[in-house]
Amino acid sequence: MKKHLLFLGAPGAGKGTQAELLSKASSYLHLSTGELLRKEIAMNTVLGREVKDIINRGELVNDELVLQIVRQNLDKDNKGWILDGYPRNLSQVNSLNEVLIEINQPLEVVFYLDIPEKVLIKRLLSRGRKDDTEDTIKKRVEIYKKTTEPLIQYFKDLSLLEYINADRDLKTISSDIKQKMA
**What residues make contact with ligand ADP under the rule CB under 6 A?**
11-12, 15, 33-35, 37, 54-55, 58-61, 66, 85-86, 88, 92, 131, 140
Q: Are the CB atoms for 16 and 84 separated by under 8 Å?
A: yes
Q: Which residue is nearest to ligand ADP (CB)?
A: 34
Beta strand 109-114 with 161-165 is parallel
CB of 95 to ligand ADP, least distance (A): 10
Q: Nearest distance from residue 52's CB to ligand ADP, in Å?
A: 10
Cβ-based nearer residue to ligand ADP, 38 or 182: 38
d(CA 46, CA 41): 9
Residue number with CB closer to ligand ADP (1 or 92): 92
For ligand ADP, the closer of residues 53 and 179 by Cβ is 53
Cβ of residue 134: shortest distance to ligand ADP, in angstroms?
14
DSSP class of residue 62 equals P
Nearer to ligand ADP, 1 or 50 (CB): 50
Least Å from the CB of residue 92 to ligand ADP: 6
- 11 φ, ψ to 5°? -60, 135
Q: Where are the alpha helices (DSSP H) in the chain?
A: 15-26, 33-42, 46-57, 63-73, 90-102, 117-127, 134-143, 150-157, 170-181
